[in-house]
Structure 1
Amino acid sequence: MDEGVRVDISGAKEQFQKAGVNVHRAMPKLLKKLAGSGERFMKRNMPVDTGNMRASVSSDVFDEVGARITVSANYAQYVNDGTRPHIIRPKNAKCLAFAPFGARGSLSRGHRTAFFTFGGKTVETGLVCVKVVHHPGTKGSHFVEKTRDHILKIIPTESNKIIADALKDVNK
């Protein structure tokens, strides 16, 4: 996912300086906490189908300069932002084949099939084959923006914890 969200933490740096805390030690600690918390929050708040997108989330910290939370699944932007209505046509076949609404698709005896389950009984059925699908679009889940808001909300608390820990060490 190429898009990202910037969070300005210069206020925390100023807060560290006013408290007399070593900024070069405090900023990497703060960035590591924010990135880790943001990564966990993002994984908990993104929609999950197969788990592939959730597994592709990672975070990196660059000294005291910055941090990044990355989602490397190639479809993450569409899940985050949503899609407009669009037309889907087959590229390498004569038709698009899928299980009918309410059925589950599977591979049975070497060919794709679909089946319904009713009260413990399973009934096999064929696939639906169409030349075009008018997709209605999808609503975005906005998990990136929710993660940004979460990080902005926890900056003061995490900064204060780091200041309190640093002042404890000085007063020992």
Structure 2
Amino acid sequence: MNAREVFEKRLRQAVRASAREVQEYAQENHRFTSKTGELERAIDVRQVSDFTAEVYIDSNAANYGPFVHNGTKAHIIRPKVKKALRWVPQGGNAFIFARRVRHPGTRSDPFLYKALEAKQEAIKGIFSKAVNVALDDIANSVISDTKSINIKIKL
């Protein structure tokens, strides 16, 4: 393996490790109240290219995730199929019906951005360590090549 391949291998490892670091922090540090853990599990990582990874909310696992992260504006909720909406108020025991409801909107909880910001120093450390390990690998490779050359010269 040449020096470039060694360096690229270590950088790919650093990209994956950094993305996992952000993912784990986002799963553990957020403002939303989790009832099922579904949204935490929906925070996922994908390798986009050799040197790019994304931490994202998997909308297939929790379709409401982007709304929690980005918030929503005030809006009207209407029934899709039936003529009225129905729910039981908190602490109540009877149904309430309405043809539409004015939802006040939700405040955003940008936990992915906060996780990236909180983990900046850790990410710098991961890349610093990866570069140092790559340099050590390359130096050891050069030293072992030099030893084999010396042996050949002595013979």
Provide TM-score, normalisation by structure 1. 0.65
For the pair shown, the structure with the greater C-alpha radius of gyration is 2
The residue number in structure 1 matching 2:91 is: 102
Q: Does 1:43 align with 2:43?
A: no
Distance change (3 Å), C-alpha of 1:62 and 1:131: closer
Given candidates 90, 93, 98, the residue that maps to 2:79 is: 90
Given candidates 90, 94, 107, the residue that maps to 1:139 is: 107
The residue number in structure 1 matching 2:152 is: none
Matched position secondary structure for 1:138: coil
Distance change (3 Å), C-alpha of 1:65 and 1:157: closer
Which has a greater percent of strand? 1
4+ runs of 1 displaced by more than 6 Å? Answer: none
Distance change (3 Å), C-alpha of 1:27 and 1:63: farther
Deviation at 1:70, TM superposition (A): 2.5
148-157 or 35-44, which moves further after superposition? 148-157
Query: How big is the alpha-carbon RMSD for the aligned residues of Structure 1 and Structure 2?
Result: 2.6
Q: Distance in 2 between matches of 1:85 and 1:63?
A: 38
Matched length: 133
Q: Distance in 2 between matches of 1:23 and 1:168?
A: 10
1:63-104 residue CA offsets vs partner (Å, 9 max, x unmatched): 63211222112222111111111111122112211111335x
Deviation at 1:41, TM superposition (A): 1.2
Q: Distance in 2 between matches of 1:24 and 1:32?
A: 12
Distance change (3 Å), C-alpha of 1:63 and 1:86: closer
The residue number in structure 2 matching 1:154 is: 122
Provide TM-score, normalisation by structure 2. 0.71
Deviation at 1:50, TM superposition (A): 2.3
| Residue identity (%) | 25
Q: Distance in 1 between matches of 2:16 and 2:42?
A: 19
Deviation at 1:142, TM superposition (A): 0.6
132-141 or 157-166, which moves further after superposition? 157-166
Letter in 1 for 2:9: R
Deviation at 1:151, TM superposition (A): 4.0
Q: Which runs of 5+ in 2 are unaligned?
A: 144-155
